[in-house]
Amino acid sequence: MNKKIKLLSIIIISCSVFFIYKNTNKKILILNIGDHISLGINSFGIKEYSPVDYYKDYLISQQKKVFLNNDYSNKDITIKSLKEKIENTSKIKKNLIESHILFLSLGYNDIVYETNIEEEMNERKNKKIIRKIKSNYNNLIKEIRKYYNNKIVIIGIHESRVDNYYIKKSIREVNKYLENKNNIIFINTNRILNLKNDYYSNPKNSYPNYLGYRKIAENIIKSLENK
C-alpha cells in the first residue's frame, strides 16, 4: 500500500513539475500590424525600432520567450485593406487565433487619403470622413474578434506635424472614439509625444525618432501591467 502511495506521489510531483516547466517556457506570440508606427520608421524615413520591438525586448528582459510577427505591417496599410486581408487570407486568420497579444496602428493613411480626394473640403465632408473611419475601425475589430479573443492594443493615430486642419481634426476625433471604446487598450501617442522636439530628429519629417518610439513603448508597458 505504501509503495502505491509513494508511486502516486512521484507521479503527481512529476506532472506538477512538467506543467510548471511548460507554463514558464511558453512562448508569447505577438502580432504587430500597422503603418509607419508599427514599422518604427524614424525621422529620416528609415525602418528602425518600433514601440512593439521595445516591448518585446522588455518581455525578454523579464525572462520571457517571445516571438514577434510583423508580416502584415507596411507603411501604406489601411483599415479597410487589413479587414479584406483577414476576410480572404487563411494565414492571417491562423496567426490571429494563435497570438497572445495584438498591436494595431492604423488610420493615418485612411484619413489622409479620404481628405485628399475631396476637391473642396468643408466641415460637413470632414464629419462624413470621421464617421466613415470610425465605422471602418469598428468593423475591423468585429472581424478580428471572430478569430482572436485576447488583448488588443491600439497605438493611436499619430498627429505628427501635419498642417492640414481637417486631417488634424479627423485624427483627434478618431483617437477620442478609440480611447473610449471598450475591450481595447488605447495608447495615446499624441499625448505621449506632445510634438516635443526631443522626439523628432528631422524638422522636414513627421516621424518620431528612437526616443519617441521608446517613450510610446514605456506607456505600452505601463498600460499592460495595469490590466
Report how far residue 141's alpha carbon sits from residue 181's, in angstroms, rounded to the nearest whole number.
11
140-167: average pLDDT: 92
- Span 87-107, pLDDT tens digits: 999 999 999 999 999 999 999
Whether 7 shows a pLDDT value over 90: the answer reads no
152 against 200, higher pLDDT: 152
108-129: average pLDDT: 95
Report how far residue 81's alpha carbon sits from residue 86's, in angstroms, rounded to the nearest whole number.
9
Supply the range of the domain harboring residue 182.
27-225
Q: Helix crossing, 79-88 with 123-144: angle to 10°?
A: 30
| Residue 151 lies inside a defined structural domain of this protein | yes
Residue 1's pLDDT is what?
Answer: 52
| Residue 14 lies inside a defined structural domain of this protein | no
Report how far residue 170's alpha carbon sits from residue 28's, in angstroms, rounded to the nearest whole number.
35
| Residue 83 lies inside a defined structural domain of this protein | yes
| Residue 205 lies inside a defined structural domain of this protein | yes
Report how far residue 127's alpha carbon sits from residue 109's, in angstroms, rounded to the nearest whole number.
17
> CATH no. for residue 80?
3.40.50.1110
Residue 113's pLDDT is what?
Answer: 95
Count up the domains in the chain and report the number: 1
| Residue 184 lies inside a defined structural domain of this protein | yes
19-24: average pLDDT: 41
Residue 161's pLDDT is what?
Answer: 67
Q: In degrees rounded to 5, what are phi and psi of residue 157?
A: -65, 130
Whether 31 shows a pLDDT value over 60: the answer reads yes
**Confidence tier at 159 by pLDDT (50, 70, 90):** confident
pTM above 0.95, yes or no: no
Report how far residue 190's alpha carbon sits from residue 174's, in angstroms, rounded to the nearest whole number.
12
Whether 24 shows a pLDDT value over 50: the answer reads no
| Residue 13 lies inside a defined structural domain of this protein | no
How much of the chain exceeds pLDDT 90, in percent? 73
- Span 36-74, pLDDT tens digits: 999 999 888 889 999 999 999 999 999 999 999 999 999
Residue 22's pLDDT is what?
Answer: 42
| Residue 75 lies inside a defined structural domain of this protein | yes
Residue 18's pLDDT is what?
Answer: 38
Residue 4's pLDDT is what?
Answer: 52
| Residue 32 lies inside a defined structural domain of this protein | yes
Q: Side chain identity at 167, as an amino acid letter?
A: I
